[in-house]
Structure 1
Amino acid sequence: MAAVEQHGPHLPVRVDAAINAGILARAVALMPDDLPALVLPMLPIGKSNEHHAFPGTLSLSHETLARLWIETAESVHRAGCRRLLILNSHGGQPQVMEIVSRELRVRLGMLAVGCGWGGVTPMDDLFSQAERRHGIHGGEIETSAMLALHPDLVRMERADDFVPLSVEMERAGGLLTPEGRVGFGWMAQDLHPSGVSGNAAAADARRGAELVERAPPRAWCGWCARSRISRSSGWVPEPPSMPADPLLPVAEPATATLTLPDGVVLAADVWRPAGPGRHPVLLMRQPYGRAIASTLTLAHPAWYAARGYIVVVQDVRGRGGSGGAFHLFEHEAEDGAATLAWAADLPGSDGRVATYGFSYQAVTQFLALAGALRGGTKRPDAIVPAMGGWSIRDDWAYTGGAFGLAGNIGWVCQMGAEAARLRGDAAAFAALGAAARGTPWSGPVAAHPEALAAHATDHHYFDWLGDDPALWDRIAPARRLAGRDLAVPGLHVGGWQDFLLDGTLGAYDAFCTGPAPQRLLIGPWTHSPWGRRVGSLDLGPEAVTPVDTATVAFLDHVLHGCEDPGPPVRLFDVGARDWASFSEWPNPEPTALYLASDGLAATAASGRLVAAPGEAGEDRLVHDPWRPAPVAGGPWGTPPGYQDRAALDDRSDVAVYDGPVIAAPLQLAGRVAAEVFVKTAAASHDLHATLSLVEPDGRAVTLTAGHLRVVEAAPGPRRLAMRGLCCTLYPGQRLRLSLQAAAWPAFAVNPGTGSCPEVTPAMQAQVIVLALRHGAERPSRLLLPVLG
């Protein structure tokens, strides 16, 4: 790392880069041949704004420089590098180097060592103590180095004894020094009008050559390359090199069919290791066409087959190449149970069957188990459900009693478009595809889009709107498996910004009541994709999905007795940009922050989150159905994920309560809730809560959210269950709670009349005024899962 900046009338602007390159070249020449060190290209431009007054200076801000260094380190981390030496030759950026080194440790687990050649090179016998203390820029030391490395670039006739201000300050006995224990902010011309500090006229090439010879990077490189710091803490020996298990050749996929007792034929693709041998079966049942095979988020079936599994991807009844009529989830228990028994007897199978898949394919795993338990037939030997529903009604169709409008319409249009494709209806396919990608909300009743009524047949949408308890009894795994022996090992996969997170946690909690070991992995992701960029945040390379490798490690452990894959609960810490391990789902005693304001939390965003209830007060929140408050990010936003909602918080129909600035790192992990005392004359209303992380630059990034529909309010506070999270907060950040009476179009606008929002014409909606009350008698509060 270098800089391009003035070095006085006698030296070029490339001094820092030239000295850096010369010292590093000498260090590399002295390294042993077997030292596993790679030299990266120099980054020549640094933070040099203290030299802005002089032509020829190029400078980056400290924010841009830190991002450049971090992203460069992330690139080499992806290539397998875990130790990094940062060789810096510019005195204006050690602080940036220290911050970057710490960030690389926190985000990537890397050992990053910051090294400035001038600070550790022994020079007592080469240059005077005064010069070492005051000659900090373009003086005797740097000029000597340049005379040794590039004498043709030095104009010694212009060199002088540039005595800096620091000499006079030292004589006066002051504590302040440009570089020392008590420093101060300075520009180069503050120290000397020329921008140089030090006796350049006394420089010579002999001492410069000796300086280059003594520079330490060769020793630092050797130490860094042969040392290792663990991801958790402490020093550990370099692990021995172990050969990876060889991958198996994979045969071309074959189509296999299962004829059910009622004569319906189900089609499946089978991917298997080539050659002799028996292997466990890995089964997925899905409704989107088996060629897709959940590759939206998971590795291709061939990847799993190469690792010793016979992978079966089956079209469910009425979808893809399978016969019969499709009815959402209705046949998955009986059909899934029959498929488990059939898969166990496939050629090459060793009789064991594990299931995997994401979203709908997670629910088919639960229902297949329910069917097997009911019929007393083959049950799965392990399950790997990812981002699926458990109760279906309360973790998929509805949230807090409110029907998920945009999400459910988008999904039913997608399912309807696939049905139109199968029957060859091009017009319906086009209309439903367009509606799925951007539902027009211009109809008299938002929950009844015209495209769905005109083009979709045999769908579940109005059944879900009808909310018949008998429906949920038939299709919900939570009800089908209630009271059953859930003795099946499971790896449950979720995402903090996935709208089905509550389903993932509900299934995990239920299976934890059984005797079989359960594992939980929650990443930072939305429903898809599972990458490092989630919404507007780049969460670094650790956020890239580990689910496929974790799945194989889990199955190898459960089915083959291989080594334990580590802690049973792994949660991605969004603040730390890394994974945190737990022995179980964290459930700390909630820490409360109480709402307080001067009555202007909505109109002036002046609400506060405080440690104890204050004086009685309230904030009036006015909801206008003509301009309902939207959603920014989170599981229901468009787009979803970690989005900046600062502009949304400026609306007068959003009440904002900010917590104190964080003074020391604070980790949150677990479920979040808000309890709000509300007074209103409306017969019904909605309340939407968002917890966001406010950065020092003003961005308010959505962390989690919750929604509640209130028709007949019980006495006491409204309790909004928000989604779980894991996030470490750092100094300078703060938390924010935002409350609003709508979350459009994620949920239908509440008309305020007590009638169902999904069937009420928009013109009947009323203005709703909510009085959000707080204080000792009505202690509205935010409940946080604070660890430690």
Structure 2
Amino acid sequence: MTRDPAETGPAPHIERGLAVPMCDGAVLRADLWLPCPAPAGPLPVLICRTPYGRSADPDEQRFARTAVARGYAVLMQDVRGRHDSEGDFEPHVHEGRDGFDSIEWAAAQGWCDGRAGTFGLSYPGCAQWLAALEAPPHLLALAPAMSYARLREAIRYGGVFDADWVRWAYLSMAPERRRRHGLPGPQTEAEAWDEWQRQGEDAFLGHLPLAEVADLRHTAPFFGQWLAQPQHSPWWDFGDVAERLGVVTAAVLNLDGWLDDACGPKGAIANHLGLCAARAEEPEPRSRLILGPWGHGIPAVTGQRAPGGRDFGPQAFLDYDALVLDFMDRHVRGLNDAQDQTPRVCYFVMGENRWREADTWPPHTRELCLHLHAAAENGAGENGAGETGGLSGEPPAQAQESGFVNDPARPVREISAWTQGPADQRALLEMERGRLLAFETGPLPENLYVVGNIRAELCVSLDAPDADLCLLVQDVAPDGAAYALMDPRAGALRLSSTGGPLAPGEVRRVSISTLLTANTFLKGHRIRLVVCASWHPALARNLQSGEDEAFSSASRPARITLHHGPQHQSRLLLPIAAAGTLSTAKG
């Protein structure tokens, strides 16, 4: 195997702790990476702004070495209020203006030739978008991997608070604030992790009210703000990227995974489509969209993370560094190469395990409607649970009901869609018997290509003021292995967010249209829809009392009923592509 030139060439020269002044007087600290020996002249710069420590992430450090070997300067910066940078850390709030100031400061330095790009994944990806919305004149390209189109949609999914922010706040953010302000408690991430393990995750993720978890009121004050602001509050407007893409002037590489946090692929698609629409009069929109079969993080993209569960083959993985740097070469340095002919959209189809390409998203599809049938009509399923309803092209001839009881004190426990690889969720039906519903087709007579937005339309009633829904769409193999096609949070919905609390006896039609995927259901496989009302600890628990779990702890069980039949049709709508219309990616 050929070694990366960044590993075999001379080590880069690193100037540590540079002072980067912001327009309000705050000084942020950064490390500057330059080639060694010193280059003959100034270089284009690639910038990464992170809250996790500018020298902490090995993937970012490897990328910096590779970029320097290719002829770039690299600036790694701690965002405001983190590590060596001054100010108070308020997640996402300052990244627009601070990003603008940092890009323009770098472009004016003697070591820079005035051309800048940005890179990074997750929070550093989001920080790129917020800076790009300020339209810094020297920013020519950005590569925001696994970010969002709207911050509000990363905090709540369908109105349901993402409880994983508790983990992020306590483990990744709080120790730094304790050190800065002399607060008691774990002072490092390692100490915080030890305390997390000592108490057990339910002491944090299972605590009610959420606003009183651990000491986050003092060590992560933003957490209380997030809980207090409803999803549609104007407070979140600053984090709405998709609505303001017309002001972005730089080229954009949108990179995400089908099994990433649900806001990720949704955001990448929305931002790419928004850029294409905003630049419709331009000869080329300068936006690429790449969607792979990955969870969150660069190791998932490159295959460094040990695979497990569903096997997509080695072709599923990409060279992240080369991909981003090729894009920067084209749009920052102006080098003409093979990317001139690269399609705008490249996506991996799971199941057939093949990359496909297109000039638009989604590709042309037809809609397949599968109606939900109650288990009594369908008979016992073949998954061992004996409570499986049917999915059929024909609606039930008579009115039917399917129901289950959800108790917030005993929520459905998550089986992640991705741990070290795509996870087999076959145990879910047996583990959570009686607390969820499942509907599935019979074995498919031929391959079925599902590409785009799966939609679910459900007719629901409750015996309580409120409840959540969480939907999982699974590909079930003949041996019983069941793999989710997307992050389960993509199927979350708080019913009260669709028109207020449900009245007694009310049957409400709700729609969930955020189930994004590209998957070939192979001949002999089944399509399964799982419906539950909790997914703990990934999603906050609805108390089902009408009270907010952020500020209350009193909960009650609720019976959730799905209605099927001529009057109330509950159904799953699949975007089906003809195999002959899908273009295979080259190379």
Fold match (TM-score > 0.5):
yes
Residue identity (%)? 29
CA, structure 1 residues 453+746, in 2 after alignment: closer, same or farther (shift >3 Å)?
same
CA, structure 1 residues 476+784, in 2 after alignment: closer, same or farther (shift >3 Å)?
same
Report deviation, 1:725.
Answer: 1.1
**SS across alignment from 1:668:** strand
Rounded to whole Å, the distance in 1 between the matches of 2:242 and 2:221 is 22
Rounded to whole Å, the distance in 2 between the matches of 1:774 and 1:746 is 29
Counterpart in the other structure of 1:736: 528
Rounded to whole Å, the distance in 1 between the matches of 2:511 and 2:460 is 11
Rounded to whole Å, the distance in 2 between the matches of 1:580 and 1:419 is 45
For residue 563 of structure 1, the aligned residue among 337, 341, 350 is 337
Which structure has greater strand proportion? 2
Rounded to whole Å, the distance in 2 between the matches of 1:784 and 1:690 is 14
Report deviation, 1:391.
Answer: 1.0
For residue 619 of structure 1, the aligned residue among 395, 402, 420 is 402
- Indicate conservation of the 8 Å contact 1:316/1:322, yes or no: yes
Write out per-residue CA displacement over residues 716-744 of structure 1, whole angstroms, 9 at most, x where no aligned residue. Answer: 52212343111122222111101011111
Rounded to whole Å, the distance in 2 between the matches of 1:309 and 1:685 is 52
Rounded to whole Å, the distance in 2 between the matches of 1:298 and 1:785 is 40
**SS across alignment from 2:116:** strand
**SS across alignment from 1:254:** strand
- Indicate conservation of the 8 Å contact 1:693/1:736, yes or no: yes
Counterpart in the other structure of 1:259: 21
Counterpart in the other structure of 2:583: none
Report deviation, 1:254.
Answer: 1.2
Write out per-residue CA displacement over residues 731-780 of structure 1, whole angstroms, 9 at most, x where no aligned residue. Answer: 2211110101111112222222222133221xx32221112111232221
Write out per-residue CA displacement over residues 217-255 of structure 1, whole angstroms, 9 at most, x where no aligned residue. Answer: xxxxxxxxxxxxxxxxxxxxxxxxxxx999975531113
Write out per-residue CA displacement over residues 201-230 of structure 1, whole angstroms, 9 at most, x where no aligned residue. Answer: xxxxxxxxxxxxxxxxxxxxxxxxxxxxxx
For residue 74 of structure 2, the aligned residue among 311, 321, 328 is 311
Structure 2 residue 74 is the aligned partner of structure 1 residue 284: no
What are the equivalent positions in structure 2 for 1:47-58 lying under 5 Å apart? Answer: none
For residue 579 of structure 1, the aligned residue among 346, 355, 364 is 355
What are the equivalent positions in structure 2 for 1:24-423 lying under 5 Å apart? Answer: 249=10, 251-255=12-16, 256-274=18-36, 275-292=39-56, 294-296=57-59, 299-371=62-134, 373=135, 377-394=136-153, 396-405=154-163, 407-413=164-170, 414-422=172-180
Structure 2 residue 273 is the aligned partner of structure 1 residue 525: no
Report deviation, 1:625.
Answer: 2.8
Write out per-residue CA displacement over residues 485-529 of structure 1, whole angstroms, 9 at most, x where no aligned residue. Answer: 333211011111111322333322322222232101122221133
Rounded to whole Å, the distance in 2 between the matches of 1:476 and 1:626 is 35
Equivalent residue letter for 1:752: Q
Rounded to whole Å, the distance in 2 between the matches of 1:485 and 1:435 is 45
Rounded to whole Å, the distance in 2 between the matches of 1:534 and 1:760 is 41
**SS across alignment from 1:267:** strand
Equivalent residue letter for 1:273: P
CA, structure 1 residues 301+421, in 2 after alignment: closer, same or farther (shift >3 Å)?
farther
Which region of structure 1 is more displaced relative to structure 2, 671-680 or 690-699? 671-680
Counterpart in the other structure of 1:778: 568
For residue 544 of structure 1, the aligned residue among 317, 320, 323 is 317
Which region of structure 1 is more displaced relative to structure 2, 589-598 or 421-430? 421-430
Structure whose CA Rg is larger: 1
Structure 2 residue 199 is the aligned partner of structure 1 residue 441: no
Report deviation, 1:421.
Answer: 4.5
Report deviation, 1:326.
Answer: 1.6
Counterpart in the other structure of 2:546: 754
Rounded to whole Å, the distance in 1 between the matches of 2:366 and 2:44 is 43
Report deviation, 1:597.
Answer: 2.5
- Indicate conservation of the 8 Å contact 2:469/2:494, yes or no: yes
Rounded to whole Å, the distance in 1 between the matches of 2:401 and 2:362 is 33
- Indicate conservation of the 8 Å contact 1:691/1:736, yes or no: yes
Write out per-residue CA displacement over residues 382-424 of structure 1, whole angstroms, 9 at most, x where no aligned residue. Answer: 1100111221112x1000011111x110111121123334557
Which region of structure 1 is more displaced relative to structure 2, 569-578 or 530-539? 530-539
CA, structure 1 residues 436+279, in 2 after alignment: closer, same or farther (shift >3 Å)?
farther
Equivalent residue letter for 1:312: L
Report deviation, 1:299.
Answer: 3.7
Counterpart in the other structure of 2:440: 658
Report deviation, 1:692.
Answer: 0.7
Counterpart in the other structure of 2:455: 673
**SS across alignment from 2:169:** helix
Rounded to whole Å, the distance in 2 between the matches of 1:250 and 1:350 is 22
Report deviation, 1:702.
Answer: 1.5
TM-score, structure 2 length as denominator?
0.84
Counterpart in the other structure of 1:240: none
Counterpart in the other structure of 1:72: none
Report deviation, 1:358.
Answer: 0.8
Equivalent residue letter for 1:662: L
Number of equivalent positions: 532
Counterpart in the other structure of 2:278: 514
- Indicate conservation of the 8 Å contact 2:460/2:509, yes or no: yes
Report deviation, 1:297.
Answer: 7.1
Counterpart in the other structure of 2:429: 649
Equivalent residue letter for 1:540: G
**SS across alignment from 2:444:** coil
Structure 2 residue 408 is the aligned partner of structure 1 residue 628: no
Report deviation, 1:623.
Answer: 1.4
**SS across alignment from 2:75:** strand
Equivalent residue letter for 2:23: P
Report deviation, 1:289.
Answer: 1.0
- Indicate conservation of the 8 Å contact 2:442/2:526, yes or no: yes
Report deviation, 1:446.
Answer: 5.0
**SS across alignment from 1:463:** helix
Counterpart in the other structure of 2:374: 597
**SS across alignment from 1:779:** coil
Rounded to whole Å, the distance in 2 between the matches of 1:436 and 1:370 is 37
**SS across alignment from 1:590:** strand
Structure 2 residue 459 is the aligned partner of structure 1 residue 459: no
Write out per-residue CA displacement over residues 673-692 of structure 1, whole angstroms, 9 at most, x where no aligned residue. Answer: 21111122211011111001
Which region of structure 1 is more displaced relative to structure 2, 570-579 or 430-439? 430-439
- Indicate conservation of the 8 Å contact 2:543/2:549, yes or no: yes
Counterpart in the other structure of 2:581: none
Rounded to whole Å, the distance in 1 between the matches of 2:58 and 2:210 is 31
Q: Tell me the C-alpha RMSD between the 2 structures.
A: 2.8
Write out per-residue CA displacement over residues 154-188 of structure 1, whole angstroms, 9 at most, x where no aligned residue. Answer: xxxxxxxxxxxxxxxxxxxxxxxxxxxxxxxxxxx
Report deviation, 1:535.
Answer: 5.2
Rounded to whole Å, the distance in 1 between the matches of 2:371 and 2:70 is 53
CA, structure 1 residues 425+270, in 2 after alignment: closer, same or farther (shift >3 Å)?
same
Structure 2 residue 317 is the aligned partner of structure 1 residue 554: no
- Indicate conservation of the 8 Å contact 1:412/1:459, yes or no: no
CA, structure 1 residues 752+511, in 2 after alignment: closer, same or farther (shift >3 Å)?
same
Rounded to whole Å, the distance in 2 between the matches of 1:436 and 1:676 is 38
- Structure 2: unaligned runs, 5 residues or longer: 280-284, 579-587
